[in-house]
Amino acid sequence: MNYIVLDLEWNQCPAGKAAENALLRFEIIEIGAVKLNETLAETDRFREIIRPQVYRELHYKTKEIVSLRAIDFKGARSFPDVARDFFAWCGEDAVFCTWGSADLNELQNNLAYYKMPSPFLFPLLYYDIQKIFSIFYEDRKSRRSLEYAVDYLNIPKSIAFHSALSDAHYTSLVMQRLTPGQILANSSVDYYQTPENRRQEIYLSYETYSKFVSRPFRDKIQAMKDRVVISTPCCKCRKNAQKRIRWFPVGGSNYFCLAHCPEHGYMKGKIRLRHRKDNLCYAIKTVKAISPEEAYEIREKKEVLRLKRRLRRKFNNDKTL
């Protein structure tokens, strides 16, 4: 097995959203990657600039962040040619690691735009080093910049950030401050491909929480009636935990609930409803073990939201009088 530590740079329409290509909002202009073996030792590197074909002029934000200029693209190859060589370099036993969740999604978007077959299996599990850094060095919730993590770990900054290879290099150095076990126990799931039916639904278990990704539904009302979506299995023993507070909305597409397992205590349920490109929606549910103090906070949150709704209704009724 090889870890492929991947970073991408991409461009967007310089004329703004109104003129962008609806099939490709972000066009990859550079691929950088570092290959690590099972012990996290570096064994190889890949870097290539890609000739833009959709947005030939660089967006001003791209110019601000990325260290590429028009002259750098002279003689550069097209995305399909570079992508084929990149995946051949990765090999068949590759697992992908990124800083954050965006790179693999945009890589698959670019493959689809050029009608190239995707080499990724379903479901696509990968390792988000930004998230794993937070798990072992901070509070599990924070999402820091790569440069912050490098400074936090006192890693020497020998090259500039914001080129694909340099950011892949620094991400690999952060990985080397973790153990393979810490990394492998904390996979993430990519949502570019989502389940098409009940059989494909995704169930993942971690130390302190579980994750479920559902099949598609017509709308959020149908999704929130599905017995599997709204179930609350204990994230430790998988037995169904009894709901103390039923699912309630927090914003337009998020829902919380509170459940209790006789053996493992309180569980916080969270559902995020997302729309696919075909406008169907799917649910991402997490069930997490929490303390009695955190359970009390959920009760308080529901009460505050209930009072806000009551005041809003009263205000609207008064306006109509």
pLDDT at 67: 74
Q: Per-residue pLDDT for 71 more than 80?
A: no
Mean pLDDT for the stretch of residues 199-209: 96
SS3 assignment, position 220: helix
Mean pLDDT for the stretch of residues 102-110: 97
Q: Are 80 and 55 in contact (CB under 8 A)?
A: no
Of 9-18, 30-39, 60-69, minimum mean pLDDT range: 60-69
Question: Residue 283 carries which side chain, given as an amino acid letter?
Answer: A
| Torsion sign, CA atoms 39, 41, 46, 47 | positive
SS3 assignment, position 273: strand
Sorted by sequence, the CB contacts under 8 Å of residue 267 that are 6+ apart come out as: 232, 234, 235, 241, 258, 259, 260, 261, 287, 288, 289, 290
**33 burial via Cβ count (<10 Å: 0-12, 13-18, 19+):** buried
Mean pLDDT for the stretch of residues 72-77: 90
Output phi, psi for 228, to 5 deg.
-75, -40
Q: Of 253, 258, 266, 126, nearest to 208 (Cα)? A: 266
The string of pLDDT tens digits covering residues 165-178 is: 999 999 999 999 99
Question: Residue 158 carries which side chain, given as an amino acid letter?
Answer: S
pLDDT at 309: 81
- Confirm whether pTM is higher than 0.85: yes
Q: Per-residue pLDDT for 321 more than 60?
A: no
Domains identified in the chain and CATH numbers: 2-184 (3.30.420.10), 196-308 (no CATH)
pLDDT at 193: 96
Q: Of 157, 94, 154, 85, nearest to 127 (Cα)? A: 94
Residue 251: pLDDT band with limits 50, 70, 90: confident
Residue 314: pLDDT band with limits 50, 70, 90: low
Pinpoint the alpha helices (H) of the chain: 60-65, 79-90, 102-113, 129-137, 146-152, 164-175, 180-184, 220-223, 292-320
Q: How far apart are CA 169 and CA 162, in angstroms?
A: 11
If one counts every other C-beta atom within 10 angstroms of the C-beta of residue 46, the result is 19
**Per-chain mean pLDDT for the chain:** 94
pLDDT at 61: 84
Q: Per-residue pLDDT for 66 more than 90?
A: no
pLDDT at 317: 67
Q: Per-residue pLDDT for 70 more than 90?
A: no
Q: Of 44, 31, 114, 112, nearest to 76 (Cα)? A: 31
